[in-house]
Structure 1
Amino acid sequence: MEFDTEWDLSDIEIQASSADARTEPQNSYSTPVEICASDLKNDIDIQGIDWSQMSVTREEYRRKRTRDYRGNYTNLTPHPHKEIRQTCAAVIPGSIYYAFRYAKVPRRIPIVHFQLRNLLWAANKNEIYYAGDSSVLSWSPIAKRSSTTLDLRLNRLQDVRISTMCAKLGILMLGGFNGEYVLQRPSDGIVSPTKDKQRSASSSTSPSASSRYGRATRSGFVTTSYNGITNHIDIAEARQGTINAIISSNDEFVRIMNLDELKITCSFKFPWAVNCSTLSPDKRMLCVVGDDRETLIADAQSGEILSTLRGHADYSFACAWSPCGRIVATGNQGEALDPTDKTSRLYDVRNMSRPFCLLRRKLSAIRSIRFSDDGKFMAMAEAADFVHVLEMARLHEILEQGDHLVPPSYTPPEIPQYAHSYAQPMDVDEEEQDEIEESSGGDSAANPSSSQPRIGGHDLPCQIIDFFGEISGISFTPGDGEQLYIGNAHESYGCILEYERTRPSIGNLDSMLV
């Protein structure tokens, strides 16, 4: 991005408002500044930017950034259809499900691939893993400091460029640009306590890593294809009780790896590069998205295609299942071609022929989607600046209304089959200038007289977290989902944003009981 000097965030001083050491203006990685909830007063925001020192207001800068943002990429030729876009659910911003708690600014959080944004994971309440330069670091919200969990250089893996990562069920696993994987059990240092002798020949152990961090590190290749970048990794327990990794690769394969034996137990070939695949809670189905408009639901055992979800305008990079298994969500990078473009599309597994809710973005493509383990919230991260949080109770209300189960009275125009092209940056089109004029936070309320129904309703409450910077990943804490962490990769104001779930006050509880 290019801005005039007076608009450039790199020239803004980081400023905390408290009367301690945090009040000192900083603009250097060597002396981080802490921002707490109590600092959010006057004109200081969650990144410590003091807007009173700027020649423009935050709202003015937001409008300019929205207009000039150059991070919107498409792989298929765009074609705007404002009429169709207006069928997306109209959200009502302003809900506060998670409140800002803490950030230490600035922090270097690199993003190696502009479309892959799964580089931050909350392993538990006090270990938030995030990718660094040839390493994985762990942020401690209690100690408020980072430490190195995995240094690839000490494991003779310095050539591995981290494209994606996952931390679940006590396992940390990385994927690389050349089909590599690196695996570690940070909790106990043992990859397989009972089957160590059955390791595949492609895996290796680094004594230096074990001696340095007390943890065994395994590495190998899931593919040696020239186009074998690892796009996504999901770790889940299989129906047989084994812990498996579901690995999505650019060579058009989804591979299932038994993490006890480090062996590929099955491989499923698809007609396009696979960008993300996730296992349903009942362990029976895979949701698969990639370099195509279609989303596929496949049998997790055989790879047989069970259902094809159509309607997207471009490639998808995110998908997720709700913990109850009734909802599957996808995220697309398209450009104003149909209502799914740069949005999340939510399906009811009882009828996946069309979505029951369409959720729009504010600025850029939806790159990652997460559900809290307790099933109460869903979060969608755009490529930059915005994270959307929705309450699942409201989505279940829409689900139970069953409007999506009735044949639609309005049929959107058929999407033209445009030719493929290389990924290209897209400007905000003229039809989206109305969004730029909206206040920061979300879509304006829908016009009830609109000729097309809003898929998801006219009054969907939503919290929209607003900041500046590319997003490396988002993660709820496992189990209770009490905390939400956001990786912000801004060059000057990057940080891990910590949010904590809000609770009704006593007054609110009284009103709820009336």
Structure 2
Amino acid sequence: MYGKCGNLNSARVWFNQMSNWRDRVSWNALLASNGHHQLSKQALSMFSEMQWETKPTKYTLGTLLLACANTFSLYHGKQIHGPDGKLLAVLGDSTEFLIADANTGKITGSLKGHLDYSFASAWHPDGRILATGNQDTTCRLWDIRNLSQSIAVLKGRMRAITALRFTSDGRFLAMAEPADLVHFFDSHSGYVRGQEIDLFGEIAGISFSPDTEAPFVGIADRTYGRLLEFVRKRYNYHLDSMF
């Protein structure tokens, strides 16, 4: 009641005195009160505290999405909107991740298949395919029309998949490991045809030029920090490389 009336200080005092009776319902109620009043930082802090006492529910994550609608990112995970802005993929410190309605925060689906925590995600421009990168060294591709299982598993070589990016036309998918390796896959081949580029240094991020002709790789090494640009090959059909 205190939370609904806007008296959040009193709500927190009474909540702290409930230490022996607190459960997921009371935690969710307090999170919802802060979200209703757009107190995003407080909601994130409470979410961190909550995980020491009880396991969050799907309702908790939906409430947190609404509470953080006016922030740039979630502290404990990665969130990204679909191309039409209607769906939101939420992933982070869990083997399961969620698809939510970006406007209401309602959970519309959950995806299972990865074996560890997820670090990256990217939507295909058509809005139907979602790529997720995981610490289990794989990238999985999901069709949001059928979330029962992933439609493809793309394997890295050594480490977690920490960055993903589609070209603006959806033709190519770039997949980066934390250091040294970037992988490219051709969607027209069903992601079977691929290329690996071996670099030197910690990878800060990957991107493509708007015309899809050039991929860029940011290197974050303190000594050798740089931005690398590659050029798309179009005429060397006898070669097995794309860039």
Q: TM-score range by the shorter chain?
A: 0.5 to 0.7
Query: Do structure 1's residue 312 and structure 2's residue 91 form an aligned pair?
Result: no
CA distance in 1, matches of 2:207, 2:127: 19
Write the mapping of 1:248-397 to structure 2, written as runs, cut at 5 A. Answer: 253=65, 255-257=68-70, 274-333=76-135, 341-395=136-190
* Residue among 10, 33, 41 paired with 1:223: 41
| 1:225–1:494 distance in 2 versus 1, CA, 3 Å | same
CA distance in 2, matches of 1:226, 1:354: 31
| 1:227–1:463 distance in 2 versus 1, CA, 3 Å | farther
Structure 2 contact 99–107 (Cα < 8 Å) conserved = yes
- Residue 491 of structure 1 deviates from its aligned partner by 3.6
CA distance in 1, matches of 2:179, 2:195: 16
CA distance in 1, matches of 2:138, 2:45: 27
Amino acid at match of 2:164: I
* Residue among 462, 465, 486 paired with 2:197: 465
Write the mapping of 1:423-502 to structure 2, written as runs, cut at 5 A. Answer: 460-478=192-210, 480-502=211-233
1:338 corresponds to which residue? none
Structure 2 contact 65–105 (Cα < 8 Å) conserved = no
Structure 1 contact 332–366 (Cα < 8 Å) conserved = yes
Structure 2 contact 113–150 (Cα < 8 Å) conserved = no
| 1:268–1:488 distance in 2 versus 1, CA, 3 Å | closer
- Residue 280 of structure 1 deviates from its aligned partner by 1.2
| 1:225–1:281 distance in 2 versus 1, CA, 3 Å | closer
Structure 2 contact 73–79 (Cα < 8 Å) conserved = no
- Residue 490 of structure 1 deviates from its aligned partner by 2.8
- Residue 362 of structure 1 deviates from its aligned partner by 1.0
Query: Larger RCO: Structure 1 or Structure 2 (Cα < 8 Å, ≥ 6 residues apart)?
Result: 1
Q: How high is the sequence identity, in percent, across the aligned residues?
A: 43
Amino acid at match of 1:474: I
- Residue 499 of structure 1 deviates from its aligned partner by 0.7
Structure 1 contact 385–471 (Cα < 8 Å) conserved = yes
Aligned residue for 2:157, secondary structure, equals coil
| 1:274–1:253 distance in 2 versus 1, CA, 3 Å | farther
- Residue 289 of structure 1 deviates from its aligned partner by 0.5
- Residue 367 of structure 1 deviates from its aligned partner by 0.6
- Residue 327 of structure 1 deviates from its aligned partner by 0.7
CA displacement, residues 81-100 of structure 1 (integer Å, 9 cap, x when unaligned): xxxxxxxxxxxxxxxxxxxx
CA distance in 1, matches of 2:73, 2:125: 24
| 1:293–1:488 distance in 2 versus 1, CA, 3 Å | same
Amino acid at match of 2:234: R
Q: Unaligned stretches of 5+ in structure 1? A: 1-220, 229-251, 258-263, 334-340, 396-455, 509-514
| 1:224–1:500 distance in 2 versus 1, CA, 3 Å | farther
CA distance in 1, matches of 2:112, 2:193: 27
Write the mapping of 1:181-220 to structure 2, written as runs, cut at 5 A. Answer: none
Structure 2 contact 218–226 (Cα < 8 Å) conserved = yes
CA distance in 2, matches of 1:225, 1:474: 31
CA distance in 2, matches of 1:227, 1:475: 32
- Residue 313 of structure 1 deviates from its aligned partner by 1.8
CA displacement, residues 16-46 of structure 1 (integer Å, 9 cap, x when unaligned): xxxxxxxxxxxxxxxxxxxxxxxxxxxxxxx
CA distance in 1, matches of 2:111, 2:200: 33
- Residue 473 of structure 1 deviates from its aligned partner by 0.7
Amino acid at match of 1:499: F
Give me the TM-score of the superposition, normalised by structure 1: 0.33
Aligned residue for 2:221, secondary structure, equals coil
Aligned residue for 1:311, secondary structure, equals coil
Structure 2 contact 139–155 (Cα < 8 Å) conserved = yes
2:53 corresponds to which residue? none
CA displacement, residues 400-448 of structure 1 (integer Å, 9 cap, x when unaligned): xxxxxxxxxxxxxxxxxxxxxxxxxxxxxxxxxxxxxxxxxxxxxxxxx
CA distance in 1, matches of 2:43, 2:207: 31
| 1:345–1:502 distance in 2 versus 1, CA, 3 Å | same
Give me the TM-score of the superposition, normalised by structure 2: 0.67
- Residue 222 of structure 1 deviates from its aligned partner by 5.9
- Residue 268 of structure 1 deviates from its aligned partner by 11
Structure 2 contact 216–230 (Cα < 8 Å) conserved = yes
Q: Unaligned stretches of 5+ in structure 2? A: 1-38, 47-63, 239-243
